[in-house]
């Protein structure tokens, strides 16, 4: 039996097809708990969930999670690939919910052996992935909030902006909270400013005389807003940045705690310049790919650190791989970039790539590809990474993996 599931936000359409291509059953369900419960019950009447693969045009979401939890093999079909196949069912390429669920079931029946299937990821890996992804979202929100704060200062108090970039982050925010407008900082002197910074734990990188000079020499704003309103704008934006920074600290602690108890952590924890957060990102994004990859080459391709080669006749092009797990690539290349500052082996791979006229991002992807082979060897053998052995061998020797259909 083969199942085609056409999903939507409010209703779904399901078709059950046998080995001969005959439609056995078909129904529509609402996006409610009752709808999902009845559908899963009906599917169980057609056989064991493990023997009922489901084709669906997504790799995530509530429907996918419920199907995986029920024990169904889930086969994600890319919408573009599915759309390109419509001609086999008619020249008009007609589209209806019932028709799409039937076509998905038929596509799974004829080409399912070539399509990868989703496998349930370990719970600890899913939890770590969720934490690191939310942290990445908060980092992006913090950058946006800081840029907005800089724009507000530039419009209403350029002097505050000049001092803001000279101080450490926490102290700079505290300074703007205490002195949000030119009038509030009018009586500041070099000694007072230096004493205030010292009370707040400033490193003393710049003396008070330099800071006060930056404050006074900045051009005056020509804002037509009242001083009270401009002050309120600065305070509110500072509070927003402080709030996001607080949530990031909470997430950092949660990620550290999750990494310490994760079963994959000992395999990669000794890699050079891989901190707790970076280790959490690598496990959360690379871990699920490691669990389902059938070869090292598949792992490297899904992580997006190998180019795409297209050769036909005399034409041959090698281009950047866009169809890849972007979050996994970011987590991996971030670690790879840091590792070259703590490993002679990594530094040599990077410098050799640069010597071949590769740009920095390309050289980092080459290094990331080398690290993935190391991770694959550690994962496959269950051996923790040992920098001494790796440095002594200068490379990881692993037998060539047989390429399998993804």
pLDDT of residue 395: 54
**Longest distance between any two alpha carbons in the chain, whole Å:** 87
Measured between alpha carbons, how far is 349 from 203 in angstroms, rounded to an integer? 37
DSSP for 300-324, written as a single string: HHHHT-S-EEEEETTEEEEE---SS
pLDDT of residue 332: 95
pLDDT of residue 394: 59
Measured between alpha carbons, how far is 227 from 98 in angstroms, rounded to an integer? 63
pLDDT of residue 403: 39
- Determine the angle formed by the axes of helices 296-303 and 326-339, rounding to 10 degrees: 100
User: What tokens appear for 356 in the block?
Assistant: 């071949």
User: What tokens appear for 119 in the block?
Assistant: 């496998």
pLDDT of residue 265: 92
| Mean pLDDT in consecutive groups of 10 residues from the start of the chain, 406 residues | 90 91 91 92 91 89 89 89 84 80 91 84 89 95 95 91 88 92 89 90 87 89 86 94 96 95 92 94 92 87 88 85 88 95 92 95 95 93 88 55 38
Centroid of chain to Cα 231? 37
Beta partners for 75? 55
User: What tokens appear for 358 in the block?
Assistant: 């590769």
User: What tokens appear for 263 in the block?
Assistant: 């079963």
Measured between alpha carbons, how far is 199 from 178 in angstroms, rounded to an integer? 13
List phi, psi (to 5°) of 277.
Answer: -70, -45
Domains of the chain: 2-114 (3.30.420.40), 126-256 (1.10.287), 265-393 (no CATH)
Does the pTM surpass 0.75? The reply is yes
pLDDT of residue 364: 96
For 307-319, the pLDDT digits (tens) are 888 888 888 888 8
Enclosing H/E stretch for 147 = helix 123-156
Are 220 and 158 in contact, with CB atoms under 8 Å apart? Answer: yes
Q: Is 15 helix (H, G, I), strand (E, B) or coil?
A: strand
Residue 152: HSE in the Cβ half-sphere, 13 Å Cα cutoff: 23
- Nearest alpha carbon to residue 396 among 373, 366, 369: 373
Contacts of 114 (CB under 8 A, 6+ apart): 405
How far apart, in Å, are the Cα atoms of 274 and each of 72, 219, 281, 337? 37, 43, 10, 10
pLDDT of residue 329: 94
Query: Would you give the DSSP letter of residue 57?
Result: S
């Amino acid at each position: 039996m083969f199942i085609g599931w056409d999903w939507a936000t409010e209703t779904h359409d399901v078709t059950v097809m046998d080995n001969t291509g005959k439609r056995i059953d078909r129904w529509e369900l609402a996006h409610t708990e009752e709808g999902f419960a009845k559908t899963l019950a009906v599917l169980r009447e057609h056989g064991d969930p493990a023997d009922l693969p489901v084709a669906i045009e997504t790799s995530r979401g509530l429907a996918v999670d419920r199907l995986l939890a029920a024990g169904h093999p889930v086969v994600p079909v890319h919408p573009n690939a599915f759309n390109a196949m419509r001609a086999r069912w008619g020249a008009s390429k007609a589209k209806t919910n019932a028709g799409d669920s039937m076509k998905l079931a038929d596509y799974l029946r004829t080409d399912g052996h070539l399509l990868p299937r989703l496998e349930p990821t370990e719970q600890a890996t899913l939890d770590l992935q969720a934490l690191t992804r939310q942290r990445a979202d908060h980092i992006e929100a913090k950058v946006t909030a800081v840029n907005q704060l800089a724009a507000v200062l530039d419009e209403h108090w350029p002097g505050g902006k000049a001092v803001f970039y000279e101080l450490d982050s926490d102290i700079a925010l505290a300074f703007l909270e205490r002195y949000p407008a030119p009038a509030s900082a009018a009586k500041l002197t070099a000694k007072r400013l230096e004493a205030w910074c010292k009370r707040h734990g400033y490193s003393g990188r710049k003396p008070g005389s330099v800071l006060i000079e930056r404050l006074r020499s900045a051009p005056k704003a020509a804002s037509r807003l009242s001083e009270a309103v401009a002050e309120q704008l600065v305070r509110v934006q500072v509070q927003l940045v402080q709030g996001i920074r607080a949530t990031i600290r909470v997430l950092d602690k949660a990620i550290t705690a999750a990494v310490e108890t994760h079963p994959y952590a000992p395999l990669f924890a000794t890699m050079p310049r891989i901190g707790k957060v970076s280790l959490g990102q690598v496990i959360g994004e690379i871990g699920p790919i490691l669990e389902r990859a059938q070869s090292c080459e598949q792992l490297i391709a899904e992580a997006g650190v190998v180019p795409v080669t297209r050769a036909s006749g005399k034409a041959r092009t090698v281009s950047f791989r866009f169809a890849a797990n972007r979050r996994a690539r970011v987590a991996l290349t971030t670690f790879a970039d840091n590792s070259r500052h703590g490993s002679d082996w990594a530094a040599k791979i990077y410098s050799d790539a640069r010597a071949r006229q590769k740009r920095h991002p390309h050289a980092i992807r080459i290094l990331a590809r080398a690290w993935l082979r190391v991770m694959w060897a550690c994962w496959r053998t269950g051996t923790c990474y040992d920098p001494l052995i790796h440095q002594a061998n200068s490379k990881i020797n692993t037998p060539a993996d047989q390429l399998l259909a993804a």
